[in-house]
Structures are given as structure tokens and as C-alpha cells.
């Protein structure tokens, strides 16, 4: 049974990330912000000139000039691409991100992440579960990732069925917000459970879980939810992520983009606030990423059968 689960990890990830096939309606029925201190405008769909297919898991570069994203997470041939900025709602497609994508066989390569020193991170299930360390690292420059290797550390859960589903790197590259997720295709649609942690950089391609990780995230790690796609702001004071209730997934299940805040970068994060949400059947919203000044947020949503990238402005 375990071997069967492991062999189908790519399928399970794909099933989770493309869960928007549940329900036929794609009307945008967003629940508006509940936070009184952090509010974003109504969404605007961005244009990627030269690209018309699915665009998921966006990440805006620290300088704001490059938008990374991946193709649909179907587990067949998911690749990371990039586009350059024309303005805040228009980008020009540049093509595949050289070096980041598996070339030997179709694989899931997704969830781009970049710090201010051009350290690039992404998730790949190549050689999994033979190699459990599925978070990858390289150096980014001008559309290419080089010096590629696996990120090492004690933050992996080595039990069968677990992997690092996604992650968020701090602006200075010192802290990795990682998301462990357990998959079991017999009992769960998508991840059965998730756990968010913080690891500190201890050397090239190496992070170790911090002693205060569980305390700092105590208000976020809630066993009643599945949560993923962490994004930490440049000042380390706001943590954004996506969550949905841990129960049977239906067209009416709400996916929520949340934020938790703190006054200092060593404080415990607050109870999360739901900024906005949408039901899976109406076009699930996921994976927020912010510009360094926190004025623009990008995320993906399924609209009329295609995953697109949306943008909101902070008010």
C-alpha cells in the first residue's frame, strides 16, 4: 500500500492542485475582506502577452520585474515559466525557466521562490521517494537557474507519504517557511494533513528548523485546516497563505487567502484573518505573492476553465 501511495505522489499533487474541476460554475463570487487593518482592492486579471494556457503558483521577483509561474499541475509535465513586467497588470512571456525543469522525464516542477540574493527555490518530485529531499535550490540570473542541488536539513518529514509541498523564502534568504504535507490517495483528496514550519539558513543549500518554530506558528498550525502556499513579507511581519477546512472537499468548500501579523520579527504570529475567499466550484483562489512594498498581491484563480493570475492593490 505504501509503495502504491508513493508511486502516485505526482498524481496526488496534481489532483490537489487541479481540484477546481469540481463544479462547473466559474462566476467570481469573492467574499470580501474581513481584516480591518489589511485590505486589498477588487481583483484584476493580469495579461501575459504571448501566453494563453494555465498559469498557476505565481511569484513576483524582489525587484518586481519578473513574474514566475508554472503550467497546470497535472503531474504530466508541469514546468516553471517566467514573464517580464510591462506594468502592474501586463507581463510579456519569455518562456521556460532554463535549468529548473526536469528534462529526462515528465515531472512536476512548480512553486517558484526567489530571495534578494538570487537564490531560487522550487518543488520537484523527481526521484521521489528514493530521494525524500524534494525541495530544490539554484542561482537565478536572466532566465536561467544554475548550480542546482537539493536543499538539505532536518525540516523534512521522512515518514512515508510526506513531502515538502511548497514553501516561502524570506527576502534576505535567512528563513524558509516550509509546508510538510501527507498524501494518501485511499483516504484523502489532496493532502490529508499539513504542517507549517520555519527553518533557518545554516549554509549553502541547508536549513535547520528553528527552536521557536512551533511557538511562532502556534496560531496558524490548526489541525482543522489544510493550509499551504506560505508567503512572508519583506519585513517578516505578515505571513500570507491559503487554507481550506479539513473535511470532504466539495464544490462549496471555501478556499481562503489568510494573513497573520506580528509587531516584531521574533514575535508569535496573530490569529489569522481571512482576507478573501471563494468556493472551489466558483473558481478556487490560491497562492498569494506580494511585491516587496506589500502594495500588490498576485495569486491564481480558475476562470472559465483556465487558471489565470489575478492582481489586487493594497488600500
pTM: 0.90
Instruction: List all residues 6 or more positions away from 232 whose beta carbon is below 8 Å from its beta carbon.
Output: 168, 169, 170, 171, 175, 177, 238, 239, 240
Integer Cα distance of 156 and 176 in angstroms: 12
Q: Sketch out the chain's domains with CATH numbers.
A: 2-313 (2.115.10)
Q: Which residue's C-alpha cell is 524582489? A: 62
pLDDT score of 7: 41
pLDDT score of 91: 98
pLDDT score of 212: 97
56 and 300 in contact (C-beta within 8 Å)?
yes
Cell numbers standing for residue 213 = 518554530
Q: Which residue's C-alpha cell is 493594497? A: 314
Summarize pLDDT for 169-213 with one digit per residue, the tens: 999 999 999 999 998 888 777 789 999 999 999 998 999 999 999
pLDDT score of 106: 66
Cell numbers standing for residue 300 = 491564481
pLDDT score of 5: 34
pLDDT score of 69: 97
Q: Which residue's C-alpha cell is 498576485? A: 298
pLDDT score of 158: 92
C-alpha torsion angle, residues 16, 18, 21, 25 (rounded to 10): 110
Per-residue pLDDT of the chain (315 residues), as tens digits, is 323 333 444 444 444 444 443 333 334 444 444 445 789 999 999 999 999 999 999 999 999 999 999 998 776 789 999 999 999 999 999 999 999 988 777 678 899 999 999 999 999 988 887 888 999 999 999 999 999 999 999 999 999 899 999 999 999 999 999 999 998 888 777 789 999 999 999 998 999 999 999 999 999 999 999 999 999 999 999 999 999 998 777 888 899 999 999 999 999 999 999 999 998 888 889 999 999 999 999 999 999 989 999 999 998
pLDDT score of 131: 86
Question: How many CB atoms are closer than 10 A to CB 11?
Answer: 15
User: E strands of 97-160, at which residues?
Assistant: 109-114, 119-124, 135-141, 144-150, 152-153
Summarize pLDDT for 19-56 with one digit per residue, the tens: 443 333 334 444 444 445 789 999 999 999 999 999 99
Amino acid at each position: 500500500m505504501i509503495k502504491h501511495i508513493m508511486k502516485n505522489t505526482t498524481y496526488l499533487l496534481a489532483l490537489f492542485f487541479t481540484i477546481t474541476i469540481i463544479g462547473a460554475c466559474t462566476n467570481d463570487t469573492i467574499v470580501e475582506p474581513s481584516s480591518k487593518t489589511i485590505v486589498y482592492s477588487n481583483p484584476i486579471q493580469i495579461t501575459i502577452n504571448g501566453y494563453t494556457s494555465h498559469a498557476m503558483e505565481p511569484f513576483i521577483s524582489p525587484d518586481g520585474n519578473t513574474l514566475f509561474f508554472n503550467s497546470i499541475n497535472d503531474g504530466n509535465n508541469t514546468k516553471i515559466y517566467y514573464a517580464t513586467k510591462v506594468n502592474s497588470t501586463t507581463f510579456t512571456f519569455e518562456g521556460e525557466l532554463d535549468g529548473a525543469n526536469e528534462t529526462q522525464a515528465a515531472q512536476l516542477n512548480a512553486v517558484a521562490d526567489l530571495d534578494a540574493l538570487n537564490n531560487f527555490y522550487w518543488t520537484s518530485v523527481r526521484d521521489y521517494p528514493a530521494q525524500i529531499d524534494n525541495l530544490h535550490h539554484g542561482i537565478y540570473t536572466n532566465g536561467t537557474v544554475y548550480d542546482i542541488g537539493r536543499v538539505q536539513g532536518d525540516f523534512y518529514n521522512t515518514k512515508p507519504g510526506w513531502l515538502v509541498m511548497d514553501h516561502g523564502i524570506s527576502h534576505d534568504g535567512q528563513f524558509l517557511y516550509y509546508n510538510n504535507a501527507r498524501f494518501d490517495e485511499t483516504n484523502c483528496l489532496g493532502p490529508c494533513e499539513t504542517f507549517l514550519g520555519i527553518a533557518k539558513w545554516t549554509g549553502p543549500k541547508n536549513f535547520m528548523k528553528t527552536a521557536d518554530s512551533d511557538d511562532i506558528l502556534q496560531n496558524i498550525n490548526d489541525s482543522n485546516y489544510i493550509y499551504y502556499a506560505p508567503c512572508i513579507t519583506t519585513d517578516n511581519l505578515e505571513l500570507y497563505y491559503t487554507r481550506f477546512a479539513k473535511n470532504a472537499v466539495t464544490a462549496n468548500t471555501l478556499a481562503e487567502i489568510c494573513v497573520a501579523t506580528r509587531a516584531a520579527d521574533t514575535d508569535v504570529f496573530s490569529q489569522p484573518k481571512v482576507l478573501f475567499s471563494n468556493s472551489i466550484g466558483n473558481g478556487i483562489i490560491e497562492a498569494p505573492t506580494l511585491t516587496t512594498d506589500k502594495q500588490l498581491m498576485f495569486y491564481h484563480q480558475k476562470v472559465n476553465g483556465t487558471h489565470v493570475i489575478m492582481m489586487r492593490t493594497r488600500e
